[in-house]
Amino acid sequence: MSILFTPVKIGSMTVPNRFVRSATHEYMADDEGNVSTRQVELFRRLAEGEVGLIITGHAFVQTSGKASPRQTAVYDDRFVEGLARIPEAVHAFPSRIFLQIAHAGRQTKEKLCGCIPVSPSAVYDPVSKVMPRELAGEEIQALVVDFIAAAGRARQAGFDGVQLHAAHGYLISSFLSPHTNRRTDEWGGPVENRARVLLEVLRGVKDSCGRGFPTIVKLNSTDFLPGGLTVDDAVEIARMLEAAGIDGIEVSGGMAEAGRGSVWPGLRGEADEGYFVENAARIKRAVGVPVFGLGGIRSLAVAEKIVEEGRADLVSLSRPFIRDPFLVKHFREGLAAGSECISCNKCFNPRGIGCAELKKKR
Ligand SMILES: Cc1cc2nc3c(=O)[nH]c(=O)nc-3n(C[C@H](O)[C@H](O)[C@H](O)COP(=O)(O)O)c2cc1C
Ligand code: SF4
């Protein structure tokens, strides 16, 4: 049997196979951020399709951290009831489900988040065309508290764990990056200071939800920006996270501002698959917790090789599950050897994700 169909432990929890649905913003919540029936159905299908661990799209922990319309909210207790519909649907199957919790930082607009977007430092974002406001020390403390409260809501709603979004230039990632974090207080400067927000959130989640509540991170391994976060920084952060109790690390990278984000278009051929896997392998050599390999993984053979060669413990995919939520089942049954996703990126749809290529074919 392929190693991909063997179970793996994330902290105290067992994931039935090595396939992860990497967090994918569904654009399906209502205007307030309440979970919709369409969203519940999307997650039910991923579970029916045998994805071992499903990670939701990013849910915002403060109103100032809303990144886009139709994004799921987790900033208030009133969202718990709606959120609970997701794990309830998923748990009819062996799959596990984590809520990704996030704050957009400066990668949003005033009209979406209701204030001048915030950041560790006032560094202009040429993509969102935002000059953010620097957060005060007390606001950073409040941010940590709100991330911890959001994790508590996820637990209350029945999620098996949470993923802290520390990638792609969003707020925690912008604390990690020396490009966006120019602070000279305890939240900026050396890597241990830039990682303080993430580490305090992690320790707080573990204290309030219990050490047995699985908490993982999606970590930028590079910003692709001169003066930005480097792989060496990421390795050090991974070591600090492990010491603070992280249960797994999904390795991503990129920042829109660098002109090189996390969702690379136009991949073809097995040689191009797994564009962040080498960074994952470097991090895996430094830590003992499970590491998730990511970035353009499309074929079963490549996925298998990544895990068999010990470069990662799990493989994360996003777009292939938009194309076919039953891909894992199809792999297991021998009905597919690879995803038909061509990485055209036409699935980003503010009215709800979907494969535009598939629609065209039909
Ligand atoms: C429509 C769409 C929405 C995404 N939303 C998120 C998100 O909410 N959080 C996140 O960490 N990454 C998000 N991503 C990035 C994916 O999780 C993944 O890291 C990236 O697409 C590379 O994997 P892939 O080549 O298998 O698609 C999104 C990607 C797509 C295509
Ligand atoms: S639109 Fe379809 S083929 Fe194109 S990237 Fe999205 S899932 Fe893949």
Quick one: which atom of ligand 1 is closest to the CA of 163? 11
Q: Please report where in the chains the tokens 């209701």 appear, as a residue.
A: 114
Q: Is 169 in the pocket of ligand 1 (CB under 6 A)?
A: no
* Ligand 2 pocket check for 287: Cβ under 6 Å: no
Given a cut of 80, is residue 324 above it in pLDDT? yes
For atom 13 of ligand 1, the residue with the nearest CA is 24
pLDDT of residue 98: 98
Residue 77 has a pLDDT of: 98
- For the Cβ of 345 lying below 6 angstroms from any atom of ligand 2, the answer is yes
Ligand 2 site, residue 265, Cβ cutoff 6 A: no
Q: What is the pLDDT of residue 322?
A: 98
pLDDT at position 360 over 90: no
Q: Name the residues annotated as catalytic.
A: 170
Residue nearest to atom 2 of ligand 2 (CA): 355
Confidence of residue 147 (pLDDT cuts 50, 70, 90): very high
How confident is the model over 147-166, as a mean pLDDT? Answer: 98
Task: Output the pLDDT for position 127.
Answer: 92
The span from the CA of 152 to the CA of 228, in Å, is 32
For 55-105, how does the pLDDT look when each residue is reduced to its tens digit (9 = 90+)?
999 999 999 999 999 999 999 999 999 999 999 999 999 999 999 999 999
What is the value of pTM for the model shown?
A: 0.98
Cβ contact 201:230 at 8 Å: no
* pLDDT score at 13: 97
Write down the mean pLDDT value for the chain: 97
What's the CA-to-centroid distance between 33 and ligand 1, angstroms?
19
Cβ of 339 closer than 6 Å to ligand 1, yes or no, is no
Residue 1 has pLDDT above 90, yes or no: no
Helices and strands in the chain: count of H runs, count of E runs: 14, 12
Mean pLDDT of 34-57: 98
Which residue's alpha carbon is nearest to atom 8 within ligand 2? 341
Distance CA 104, CA 75 (A): 13
pLDDT for res 171 = 98
For tokens 């890597």, name the residue.
191
Q: What is the pLDDT of residue 359?
A: 81
317-338: average pLDDT: 98
Which residue has tokens 């991330």? 147
pLDDT score of 75 = 98
Residues 244-287: tens digit of each pLDDT:
999 999 999 999 999 999 999 998 889 899 999 999 999 999 99
Name the residue with the closest Cα to ligand 1, atom 4.
24
The gap from C-alpha 231 to its chain's centroid, in whole angstroms, comes to 18
**Ligand 2 pocket, 344 CB below 6 A?**
yes
First to last CA, the chain: 35
Residue 25 has pLDDT above 90, yes or no: yes
Best residue among 298, 323, 340, 348 to mutate for probing ligand 2's pocket (most ligand atoms within 8 Å of CB) is 323
pLDDT of residue 239: 98
Residue 185 CA to ligand 1 center (angstroms) comes to: 33
70 CB less than 6 Å from ligand 1? no
Q: Could you tell me what percent of the chain has a pLDDT over 90? A: 97
CB atoms within 10 A of CB 112: 19
Residue 138, CA distances (Å) to 56, 203, 279 in order: 29, 18, 34
Q: Which helix (H) or strand (E) holds 263?
A: none
Give the pLDDT score at 118.
98
3 state SS of 338? strand
- Encoding tokens for residue 90? 């998923």
Between CA 36 and CA 351 the distance in angstroms is 12
In sequence order, the 6+-apart residues with CB closer than 8 A to the CB of 74 are: 33, 59, 60, 61, 83, 99, 101, 150, 153, 154
The pLDDT value given to residue 137: 97
**Residue having the nearest C-alpha atom to atom 31 of ligand 1:** 319
Please give the share of the chain, as a percent, with pLDDT higher than 70. Answer: 100
